[in-house]
Structure 1
């Protein structure tokens, strides 16, 4: 794939009998203007999205990504996406990429202000080369997310469990991490529990057990984390979810940031404390994550 591919979607009501949505798609020039100036995704970040890794033309983890898109839409009071329609759009976008790694983005916004329907589109583009990060790892710092672990339950209007287009805070956290001499960050609740990274899930290893923060408190249930757990369970390891005190981070026997495009990036240091790097296991995880998965 040499450039980008973009497909605008005309949202349609759910129709279990419909099998072809070709007339609801419009391919547009990915380098040309396509959105109205009144579009709320750009004015207010009022929408949701998903990023799907593509390996040699195969879109990975499509089902959990679509389920999470629907979950985010529900939290944001957006119309429920027609998942068969989105699946067909993903297949069309995946067919436009060549070998190697690419990324498909799904975007569903509230549309034009006072408009009748949401705006929806899918893009495909070459992925960033993360080979070095997967091999050599990342150094991270912890950052206070500014709310306690129960905030999402008390204040659902904060949309802490939705993957929204409002990513300014996440990007600011990455810039702050780099100002502190690190590559990435891990968010902590202000009552001292581990949350997630700005653009990734966190997996910790303690002996032969692997643990990730429980998907509450505004933590997204990571699609790649689910795939890693599937592989680890098949290998006989114990996996689980829990509330993880921040003090446990530097006691881990291994740690990874995992996401759909970067895949498994080993953490080599947390707040300056070195974390053991298991290169063979990391290579095994990334080999699995690069294999075709639905």
Structure 2
């Protein structure tokens, strides 16, 4: 494939009741200018996005990603994307990906300021090589996210639970974690509960039970976490959702950050205190996550 592949989507045309949306996509040179200087995604981060992992040309978990994109659009008062139109756009982009790992990004923006329609596009590119970090794991620092678990319901204008283009806070959290000598971060609510990582979901194993923070209080429901839970269920293992106190991090028997492109990465330490690492299960999870999934 070219280094990158890009499609501009005409979201208005998706109002048509039809099965084929090929004429609503325009392939553009991903290395050339394609957006107006008035585009609000670049000026204000006013939009939503998803990142889909691609394995040997197969886009992973497409429907869950599209459903989450639609939920983010609703939270942000954006037009809800037409799922079939975007599914076909993903298929076009995936067909341009070579063997190996790649990433497709879906972006829906408010559009040009004072413009009549939103802007939508899809890109595909080779994924970074995460093989070393999957084998090595990451240390994490815990960071206060600055709001309690009830904030999402109390203040919906904070857009908690939407995957927005406004990622400055997430990137700042990663920089702060590295200043503290860690590789990554885990957010905590101000009332002392575990949330998520800046770009990943968290799964803990405590005894024989796998647990992840329940997807409320502004936590994104991770598509990769759902796939991991499918795999654990197929093995007859106990996996569920809980309100997890921050103190449970230190007593976990194993922990992982999971995401669509990096996949499953073991947490090796929390705030400088070592955690046990299950290397065999980590390898098994990544083998599963590297297989074609819907």
Q: Which residue of 1 aligns with 2:85?
A: 85
Q: Which residue of 2 aligns with 1:108?
A: 108
Structure 1 residue runs of 5 or longer lacking an equivalent are none
Deviation string 1:213-269 (CA, Å, 9 cap, x unpaired) is 000000000000000000001101101111100011010000000000000000000
Q: Distance in 2 between matches of 1:264 and 1:166?
A: 25
Q: Which residue of 1 aligns with 2:129?
A: 129
Q: Distance in 1 between matches of 2:197 and 2:281?
A: 21
Q: Distance in 2 between matches of 1:89 and 1:110?
A: 19
Q: Distance in 2 between matches of 1:237 and 1:16?
A: 45
Question: How has the CA–CA distance of structure 1 residues 151 and 128 changed in structure 2, closer, same or farther, with 3 Å as cutoff?
Answer: same
Moved over 6 A (4+): none
Does 2:89 align with 1:98? no
TM-score, with length taken from structure 1: 0.98
Structure 1 position 12, deviation (Å): 2.9
The two structures, once aligned, show a CA RMSD in angstroms of 0.9
User: How many residues get paired?
Assistant: 294
Question: Residues 143-158 of structure 1: matches in 2 within 5 Å?
Answer: 143-158=143-158
Deviation string 1:128-168 (CA, Å, 9 cap, x unpaired) is 10001111100000000011111001001100110000000
Q: Distance in 2 between matches of 1:251 and 1:216?
A: 23
Q: Which moved more, 1:4-13 or 1:95-104?
A: 4-13
SS of 1:50's equivalent?
strand
Q: Distance in 1 between matches of 2:76 and 2:29?
A: 29
Q: Which residue of 1 aligns with 2:208?
A: 208
SS of 2:12's equivalent?
coil
Q: Distance in 1 between matches of 2:144 and 2:190?
A: 6
SS of 1:34's equivalent?
coil
Structure 1 position 207, deviation (Å): 1.5
Q: Which residue of 2 aligns with 1:6?
A: 6
Structure 2 residue runs of 5 or longer lacking an equivalent are none
Q: Distance in 1 between matches of 2:61 and 2:16?
A: 22
Deviation string 1:50-109 (CA, Å, 9 cap, x unpaired) is 000000000000010000000000000000101100000000000001000000000000
Question: Residues 195-274 of structure 1: matches in 2 within 5 Å?
Answer: 195-274=195-274
